[in-house]
Amino acid sequence: MKDYKKYYSIPATPDEIYMALTNPITIELWTGEVAEMSTEPGSEFSMWEGSITGKNLEFEPGKKIVQQWYFDGQSDNSIVTIKLHADKQGTSAELRHTNIPDDDFDDLVDGWNNSYFGALTEFFEGE
């Protein structure tokens, strides 16, 4: 199991980023895919046609999102924590993803950098 931590600079306010990560309609705008998402702790979510699924654990509007991501056959909880901090460019998004299966690590890092935060950054840069 591995952990991953990275900061992403996104040209939007923390509230705008929070909305883009928690509202299923906004998620669809930047991913191009239908998403199931709720800010109700304990609710399940699904993105990218089910390639990312899990449970929503904690929300702090405009500041923090905590989720458990599911991996087949994994007994340890894989926890994603995203903290949003205002900065000069807009928002510094702090990502911490724990207990990533070794076999999934490289693909997951690529997904975070390109499909997830990469696409989110492009979405706000294009506005």
Q: Topology of 2-125 in CATH?
A: Alpha-D-Glucose-1,6-Bisphosphate; Chain A, domain 4 (3.30.530)
One digit per residue, pLDDT tens: the chain, 127 residues? 999 999 999 999 999 999 999 999 999 999 999 999 999 999 999 998 888 899 999 999 999 999 999 977 777 789 999 999 999 989 999 999 999 989 889 999 999 999 999 999 999 998 6
DSSP at 11: S
Whole-model pTM: value is 0.92
**Three-state secondary structure readout of 30-80:** HHCCCCECCCCCCCEEEECCCCEEEEEEEEECCCEEEEEECCCCCCCCEEE
